[in-house]
Amino acid sequence: MSVAAPSPVGRAAAMLGSLAKRQVPIGPLTTYRVGGPAALFVRVERDEDLAAVGAAVRETGIDVLVVGKGSNLLVADAGFDGLALVLGEHFAAIEIVGTTVRAGGSAALPVVARRTAAAGLTGFEWAVGVPGSIGGAVRMNAGGHGSDMAASLRRVRVLDLRTGEDNEVPAATLELQYRRSAVRAQDLVLRADLELAAGDRATAEATIADIVRWRREHQPGGPNAGSVFTNPPGDSAGRLIDAAGCKGLRLGTAIISPKHANFIQADDGGRADDVVALMREVRRRVLEHSGVSLHPETRMVGFGPTALDDGR
């Protein structure tokens, strides 16, 4: 009688031992606060932990999810059948020398924005309203208020978990575009170097206060992941969604924000499946109304490739 070979999850769990935990809910680690568990979960607190995770990934081929701050993730209710990891505080250091800023991959964008403003630097104030990490911001070329990561990013340290290659690469090689880059799921951004401009502390902090005020006035709070769809060239996804009559539309435990049509809010204890169903319905209505096919900005985890397909 043949015995089935251990799954990648089982083999990775055996290699990682007490470092990895099984069936950890990762939905609560996202800003949507919905979604299921990861088959394996690791919080990387030391360089030794990082080496162990890399060895397990290379040996087993297990799928990897870098959670970061979870501000752009929607995790399926069924969860993620792989290894989810979060970089701990060891990777959140921020160093400022002159106009150069070195920030760890897990450093929070609002923290970097406030630290740089306090140092009299300008160019990163926009990030105060983005609840993500430096690593996640590099991967999606996060931005807002007329700027983005590409404007100040100079180089990054990236670890390829599948090959073990640990390199510093210039930003020019990352193919940074609107809400996308060449950084892959297997790539772990360990730190980023930014080049900002000398400015005035009071002015920079006033700009930050203005951005925080604007976001409170124009964007909803509660469980959401920011903009759901990318803006089509020359237009606004929020405008298109509003024009299609979707503002305030509810499906199950998910609702299009009455405050900003490109935000979906999830109820406490809600379902990721409802969020996806609402995204699908919004795409359908916008396509019917304006002929524009919207593309998700939200990174969807654990869903099939046709999750947003309306069946037509």
Active-site residues: which are they?
179, 227, 297
Place of tokens 């104030």: 125
CA angle 54, 302, 289 (to 5 degrees): 135
Task: Please give the Cα distance from 279 to 303 (Å, whole number).
Answer: 13
How far from 170 is each of 14, 174, 286, CA to CA, in Å?
36, 7, 39
Provide the strand spans (E) within the chain. Answer: 21-25, 37-44, 64-66, 73-75, 80-87, 94-97, 100-104, 121-122, 143-144, 147-148, 153-160, 166-170, 187-195, 197-198, 250-251, 254-256, 264-266, 299-301
